[in-house]
Structure 1
Amino acid sequence: MKKAVKKSVSLVLISLSALVLLIVGILFYISGVLQKPAYLEPWNTTYAAQFGDPRIRLAAHGLLAASGHNMQPWRIALSGSEPMSLYLYADSSRMSKEADPLARQMMISQGTFLDYIDVAGQKLGYAVGLDLFPMGQYNEQTLAQSMDTYPVAKLTLRKRPPQDTPLYDDLFLPDTNRMAYSPVPLTRQQIEQLEAVSDDSGVSIRIVQDKANLDKLGHYAMQGAAIEAAAASVAKESEDIFRANEREKNQYRYGFSVEGQGTTGFMKHIMQGLVTLFPSMNSGKAAEDRLIQSVQTAVDSTPAYALILTKDNSRDSQVRSGIVYSRLILEAHQLGLAMQPLSQVLEEYLQMQEPYRAIHREYAPGGGTIQMLVRLGQPIKEAPLSMRREVTELLIPADAK
């Protein structure tokens, strides 16, 4: 009798194990585990070398820069009459109209692209001359049309001997790490080195790590996350650019994915399979709770915050703050540090007005603008790479301008 019971239990366990393996296999298949992650190819250090035109090679490095909501809102125009110049345009079709209605974050993203090109130029042997808004400023009343008409910047390349800049290798590291950070505070030397990144009199960096400021800024970060999570139109905008599986990531190559929520390895494919089968897991109340929890986890493991401030909120200042932000990322990598934006509280839609004004009263009392709020510290785990498009997708056809 006992042998029969043991045999029955063993059969049940074997059946359950087989069922679990079957379910895992199905989820992995739905996730797209067998698909090649083409969306990661631009991160390869040899990717840019396939292009003969130095302007495209440099743009391939710019493509790796951080951008709001990973929208990669960049377009580049190459002129046959100016073989050593390229024009950077903001891609109006990639505006985040709900979360970023004034396109401030989009302009910061233009600056991040420009700084990565500058660093790549040093390594590849080009001095990069920068001229912001060379054809005039935007008409704010017809913003999208202005973006299509007026370039953010003209870059002029001049050949020179390559420079062995230590920042070049950091271009190929993830710009954002949403994992937990060590509680170890930054040293005074690290703070001074990072705050010195900004040599522009109109842009400054302030790093804080005392308990009073950690508590205040953590509270603002949570306020912003709660408001964004509850704003249906903003949440829907994020939901629309979420890529649930490998097929979608290869098809779109921008936006959000489960890696951005801190899920990697084996669990990445489990989650991708589940979200593909049950899209409601990434929408509505589930998405709201996940955002709040992720920000809470980040706040709880933040030893320091950095604020990037400008004296005004002009388009030039927004772009320049993006240049400083990119350089701050690269310098942080040099020090073994990681960063993550927690800038929801700085967004400029109606529901965010009260905390936006409050944080500015406290941290920019002279009438300036806080362009970025980021957490900063020693990462406990490495962050995954995020999706990137082919650089050729950024090219504006010659007959389109």
Structure 2
Amino acid sequence: MGVILTGIIAFIVIAVTALLIISGNFEKSTYLEPWKKDYAQKFDDPRIQLTAYGLLAANGHNMQPWKIRLDKDNPMVFFLYADSERLTNEVDPFARQMMITQGAFLEYINIAGDKLGYKTDIELFPQGGYDEQKLDESMNTTPVAKITLTKATSQSAPLYAYMFLPDTNRAPYQSTKLTSEQINELENLNTDDNISIKILQDKENVDKLRSYAMKGASIEAGVNRVMKESETIFRSNEYQKNKYRYGFSIEGQGTSGIMKHIMQGLVTLFPSMNSGKAASNMFIQSTQISVDNTPAYAMIITKDNTRLSQVKSGILYSKLILAAHQQGVVMQPLSQALEEYPEMKELYRSIHQDYTPKGGTIQMLVRLGKPTKEVPQSMRRDVIDLIVKE
């Protein structure tokens, strides 16, 4: 009996060790280096330093779709472009989420500028808007923003420290509701008459938005081409994460420690665990757990749906994330019901009818609350990879 038990224990140890090796447990996680607080200081050019901070911003599908062109003639000027090679056309066919992502990046640059002692003058679409009929090509030639730096006195930048926290927490939240003071502070972050933040935590709206989130997840889980798009950018182990440094991974669901590596090893050995019906079921189940443990929701709503409004929504979204972190509150986007591919059309129409009856566009829908646990940071690219080589 003792020999059998010893054999079983030895097998388990060997199996776990093998999974850890397959997972890349002994690899250095270079994809996390941009999260280090001294990472930006490796670069002498202040434009690259600020880009390194912008790289930490929230972004759709963790595609990090930013390109930076440094002005050749003025060392204090640089331009932000949307990276058309990082579009997620199935889930975001009109590139609305892509443009929100651009705004999220700009606000992180703005906050980091205050901390580093630079005034950032951000001019949106300095060369005019996109040619929507040739969107991919237009993104490559038309900047989203021109950023001009002026040396200034370093400011306290109270939200700076919160830039180094993960922008998304998919874990269950505590049942504690936000206080009226917290709600007022978050809703008053906006100063643009064209945009509003709406926070909802009464039972009727929480139940209604939970239903919208689940319907959206169910629809998306049933659209093969959309799920396949996400599957294509899933990085199953440390080797892939170090190679690509963008997309989805196991820890995105909040799994960490040795369990992360065991799961990574299993998914690497058996890719079907994260594809097809298995992936769809996992997505629906994780959404259900999340929304069943959500005390409040927030929306960012614009009166129109122009590219300018989309970018400004992203700027506001970064402010919302960081101010919420300051309050000890975390959030997670629930974007499915706002997506614009054909299968989601009816749900998109319905949620807008309920929450923007006089017109307007819901740019962001997020769940928010106090966290039950911390979650790991996600992959980030090397900042130099964002710089356009002239």
* Same fold at TM > 0.5: yes
Aligned to 1:5: none
Aligned to 1:37: 29
5 Å matches for 1:134-213?
Answer: 134-213=126-205
Cα distance in 1 between the residues matched to 2:285 and 2:42: 42
Larger Rg: 1
Cα distance in 2 between the residues matched to 1:169 and 1:43: 11
Q: Deviations over 1:144-175 (max 9, x none)?
A: 00000100000111111000111111111100
More divergent stretch after superposition (355-364 vs 193-202): 193-202
* RMSD of equivalent CA atoms: 0.6
Cα distance in 2 between the residues matched to 1:26 and 1:126: 50
Tell me, what secondary structure is at the counterpart of 2:122? strand
Q: Deviations over 1:340-367 (max 9, x none)?
A: 0011110000000000000000001111
- Structure 2 unmatched runs, 5+: none
| Alignment: residue pair count | 390
Cα distance in 2 between the residues matched to 1:366 and 1:11: 75
Q: Does 1:345 align with 2:337?
A: yes
Cα distance in 1 between the residues matched to 2:357 and 2:25: 51
Q: Deviations over 1:263-287 (max 9, x none)?
A: 1111100000000000000000000
Q: Deviations over 1:8-30 (max 9, x none)?
A: x2211111111011100000000
Q: Report the CA distance between 1:262 and its aligned residue.
A: 2.1
Cα distance in 2 between the residues matched to 1:262 and 1:394: 27
Aligned to 1:119: 111
Cα distance in 2 between the residues matched to 1:366 and 1:74: 34
Counterpart of 2:387 in structure 1: which amino acid?
L
Q: Report the CA distance between 1:299 and its aligned residue.
A: 0.3
Cα distance in 2 between the residues matched to 1:345 and 1:18: 49
Structure 1 outlier segments of 4+, above 2 Å? none
Q: Deviations over 1:31-76 (max 9, x none)?
A: 0000000000000000000110000000000000010000000000
- Structure 1 unmatched runs, 5+: 1-8
Counterpart of 2:173 in structure 1: which amino acid?
Y
Cα distance in 2 between the residues matched to 1:84 and 1:115: 18
Counterpart of 1:127 in structure 2: which amino acid?
K
Q: Deviations over 1:315-343 (max 9, x none)?
A: 00000000000010000010000000011
Aligned to 2:369: 377
Tell me, what secondary structure is at the counterpart of 2:241? helix
Tell me, what secondary structure is at the counterpart of 2:217? helix
Cα distance in 2 between the residues matched to 1:30 and 1:242: 16
Q: Does 1:307 align with 2:299?
A: yes
Q: Does 1:291 align with 2:283?
A: yes
Cα distance in 1 between the residues matched to 2:221 and 2:169: 20
Q: Does 1:238 align with 2:193?
A: no
5 Å matches for 1:2-401?
Answer: 9-398=1-390
Tell me, what secondary structure is at the counterpart of 1:179? coil
Cα distance in 2 between the residues matched to 1:40 and 1:395: 19
Counterpart of 2:258 in structure 1: which amino acid?
F
Compute the TM-score of the two structures, normalised by the length of structure 1: 0.97
Counterpart of 2:383 in structure 1: which amino acid?
V
Tell me, what secondary structure is at the counterpart of 2:108? helix
Cα distance in 2 between the residues matched to 1:26 and 1:322: 43
Cα distance in 2 between the residues matched to 1:249 and 1:227: 29
Counterpart of 1:184 in structure 2: which amino acid?
T
Cα distance in 1 between the residues matched to 2:192 and 2:221: 35
Tell me, what secondary structure is at the counterpart of 1:376? strand
Compute the TM-score of the two structures, normalised by the length of structure 2: 0.99
Cα distance in 1 between the residues matched to 2:192 and 2:13: 57
Tell me, what secondary structure is at the counterpart of 1:197? coil
Counterpart of 1:72 in structure 2: which amino acid?
Q
Tell me, what secondary structure is at the counterpart of 2:345? helix
Counterpart of 2:333 in structure 1: which amino acid?
P
Cα distance in 1 between the residues matched to 2:344 and 2:337: 7
More divergent stretch after superposition (259-268 vs 237-246): 259-268
Cα distance in 1 between the residues matched to 2:244 and 2:373: 27
Cα distance in 2 between the residues matched to 1:36 and 1:266: 15
Cα distance in 1 between the residues matched to 2:255 and 2:161: 25
More divergent stretch after superposition (305-314 vs 193-202): 193-202
Q: Report the CA distance between 1:197 and its aligned residue.
A: 1.0
Counterpart of 1:367 in structure 2: which amino acid?
G
Cα distance in 2 between the residues matched to 1:216 and 1:104: 24
Cα distance in 2 between the residues matched to 1:98 and 1:343: 13
Cα distance in 2 between the residues matched to 1:188 and 1:47: 38
